Amino acid sequence: MSVAPLHQVLADNRYPGRGVLWARTLDGALHGGYFLTGRSAASQARRLLRQDAELIVAATGAAAHDPLRHYVAACERGGWLVFGNGEQVAAVADRLEAGQPPAAALDGLDYEPDPPIFTPRITVATDLHAARGAWFGAARRSRGARTATDVLMLAVRDLEPGDVVMMTTYRCDGHDIATGEPFVDTRTAAADREALLAEVWDALTPQLRVAAAVFTPGQLADAAIRTAIP
């Protein structure tokens, strides 16, 4: 069964919110990726910064800290790479470092308290000592009347060159915004990390894109980054 290319999937989703991906580029290397878009001035006034073994989503200018907008987006510690769209990244990394298995570390999370859409918490974890696959976790509000959090988990293994698995917080046709699909299988023709970052960045709606990064497990400090605001 054929799947749509990554750039088309992103271009068709006019406002994906924030996204995580796990990919194997054509050179055979595995990469994680994180990107964020924003509609409000506060959401757009952000950038990604390297800080030791972490990537930080930080405010630009004199904006006050907002835990829903400013957080550790990726970190490497305890033999794990963890990345995602909020403060749960640090919590999951703590649990993995304490010896919890990925299924337990990704459990017990909640969606964001931001009605009416209730943004999902999306997180990826991969073992740096055996980086063949990755665990995706999503804490989502039910699409029905229930307010309890649904926690979805996906173990992704043995990607072939060109394979990409992605989660986004939203899906949008340019008018209506809804919670994103549980996950999307897609493909990339990117030869390497830099080409994968360029494909993601160029496909995001120019007026909404904020920042994006692609990183190789074990080399987070050398992440390739694009930001709308330098």
Distance CA 141, CA 117 (A): 9
Kindly state whether residue 158 falls inside one of the protein's structural domains: yes
Kindly state whether residue 229 falls inside one of the protein's structural domains: no
Residue 64: pLDDT above 90? no
Average pLDDT over every residue of 33-41: 95
Kindly state whether residue 1 falls inside one of the protein's structural domains: no
Q: Which pair of structure tokens corresponds to residue 197?
A: 């970052």
Q: What is the mean pLDDT of the chain?
A: 94
The DSSP code for 199 is: H
- pLDDT tier at 230 (50, 70, 90 boundaries)? confident
Going by their DSSP bridges, the two strands 224-227 and 209-215 should be labelled as antiparallel
Distance CA 79, CA 99 (A): 10
What is the extent of the structural domain holding 147?
Answer: 6-223
For the chain, give the DSSP string: ----BHHHHHHHSS---EEEEEEE-TTS-EEEEEEEE-SSHHHHSEEEEEETTEEEEEESTTPPP-TTTSEEEEEEETTEEEEESSTHHHHHHHHHHTT--HHHHTSS----S-TTT-PPEEEEEEETTSTT-EEEEEEEE-SSS--SEEEEEEEE--PPTTEEEEEESEEESSS-EEEPPS-EEEE----SHHHHHHHHHHHS-TTTEEEEEEE-TT-GGG-EEEES--
Which CATH number characterizes residue 107's domain? Answer: 3.60.20.20
What's residue 1's pLDDT? Answer: 66
Residue 196: pLDDT above 80? yes
Residue 229: pLDDT above 80? yes
What's residue 142's pLDDT? Answer: 87
Residue 140: pLDDT above 80? yes
φ, ψ at 111 (rounded to 5°): -70, 165
Kindly state whether residue 171 falls inside one of the protein's structural domains: yes
Kindly state whether residue 83 falls inside one of the protein's structural domains: yes
Residue 154: pLDDT above 80? yes
Give the total number of structural domains in the chain: 1
- pLDDT tier at 66 (50, 70, 90 boundaries)? confident
Kindly state whether residue 147 falls inside one of the protein's structural domains: yes
pTM for the whole thing? 0.95
What's residue 151's pLDDT? Answer: 95
What's residue 108's pLDDT? Answer: 92
Q: What percent of the chain has pLDDT over 70?
A: 98
Average pLDDT over every residue of 125-130: 92
What's residue 16's pLDDT? Answer: 97
Query: In this structure, is the dihedral angle defined by the CA atoms of residues 6, 17, 51 and 89, taken in order, positive or negative?
Result: negative
What's residue 110's pLDDT? Answer: 94
